[in-house]
A and B are shown apart, each in its own frame.
Chain A
Amino acid sequence: MTRTSHTVSFTLNGEKKTFDTRPDEKLLTLLRREGYRGTKYGCGQGTCGACTVLVDGKATYACLLYSMQAEGRKVRTIESAGTFDKPGEFQKELIAAGAVQCGYCIPGMVMSATALMESEKDFSDEIVKEYMDGNLCRCTGYEKIWVALRRVLDRREAATAKRPVAGKKTSSKGAKK
């Protein structure tokens, strides 16, 4: 049996890292302590989605994951999605759509959308809502976030020629019901 030392090693944004930790330290706390502060502390109880990171490509609340559970896994934070000078595709659309007010929810939104875009080929409204249902925004009412995301997804669908953008029925309303 492996009684773990109080360190954890995992791949963080493509780099192998080892951190000192405690068994009851949350991944969110560790990330922010180590300077990855794009991942936000919101509710701390797995409701708001501000702390969403990808663990082995799956969207996960960092506030509900003990840091030790990340051992040997691939963790990606918002810092991997883009920078202020070079924002990612969805981040650009969020800016263009005026979808960011306080901005606190945006890192989590971007990470959930990243999981969606990397995991799915079908970007129907139902699938998109499923991936985004764990991220709350209390400023925008979701519409502009939804518009920004749909622009990205519609472009991707058009690029893969699975469905043409013209005539595609998508809703700019009702991202959350």
Chain B
Amino acid sequence: MKLSEFIRPASLAEARKALRELGPKGMPLAGGTALHFMQSKTPVTAVDLTGLGLSFIRRKGGFFSIGAATPLSDIQRYRSPRWAMHEICRRISTHQIRNVSTIGGNICRVFPWADLPVVLLAMNARMVIYSGKESEMGADEFFSSQPARLFSGGNLLTAVKIPVLKAQHGFGSVKANRNAAAFSLVTIAALLELDGTTIKSARVAAGSAIPFPKRLPEVEAALVGREAVTDVFKKAAAAGGTAAKWNVREGMSADYMRQLAEVSLLDALERAAEFARGRVD
């Protein structure tokens, strides 16, 4: 994307005002990596958000709050009890990209290969949006279609709130790709709430191999009320295989992608159950 100007607002209000005035000729910039791959016929003005104090990770109440301009490498390195976001961030692209790309950039304009929307859907995250004042939106609504729709009026994502997992919660994410730095072929994330050995609730989401990240209610229905054991996970994964239209990718058939999704679903569910039972890595 061609840049014609580069401005550095001193506050969120200034940033919003600039973006409102610029309309389609303005583009918020944090890490900026995505801008290099976006096409536009006319140059845009970059509105730099990196000086607005939006890079942080804090635990407050029942949430981890991650600033929208927090680099993925910071999320990857952060550690706290019942924290699981590092798992997927370690798998996103390369070290150099993770040092620059931000969580906000990853989710405000969702590219087909984006991993974080899948994780945030499963985690039931809440997005904090500044529109002159801050308000929150749940992941289901935020990712109901392209989130860029929410920011066309100059509004800005300021933070992502991740619920602190409780003792009986387990989270697992799996990313299948050709090599460590490649875009995802299939990304799966699963959050299980156990009551003893029974699955009390489940949130399972998929991305990359489908047109847009989404939850898989068929998989969730196949889990709730059943034992957290491999046989149940296999049946739920099979339900996932038929629940979505899996894309043909890079020479791989749709049927291969379906199988890859099923295997990834099984792995994610097993990892989530291990987490609930005390896995900490």
Which residues of A approach B to under 8 Å, CB–CB? 1-4, 22-24, 45-47, 49, 52, 55, 58-61, 63-66, 68-69, 71, 112, 115, 130-134, 176-177
Contacts and interface: CB of A to CB of B under 8 A. Distances in A.
B242 interface: no
B100 to A, nearest CB: 6
B94 A134 contact: yes
Contact of B8 (A4, A55, A112): A4
18 contacts: A2-B7, A2-B9, A3-B5, A23-B4, A24-B4, A24-B43, A45-B36, A46-B96, A47-B94, A59-B96, A60-B96, A61-B96, A64-B36, A64-B100, A65-B32, A68-B6, A69-B48, A112-B95
B3 A59 contact: no
Contacts of B7: 1-4
A134 B90 contact: no
Contacts of A49: 94, 96
Given A24-B2, A66-B32, A133 B8 contact: no
Contacts of B3: 22-24, 66, 68
Interface of B: 1-10, 14, 18, 29, 32-33, 35-37, 43, 45-46, 48, 50, 73, 90, 93-97, 99-100, 179-181
Contacts of B35: 66
Contacts of B43: 24
Contacts of B37: 45
A64 B32 CA distance: 8
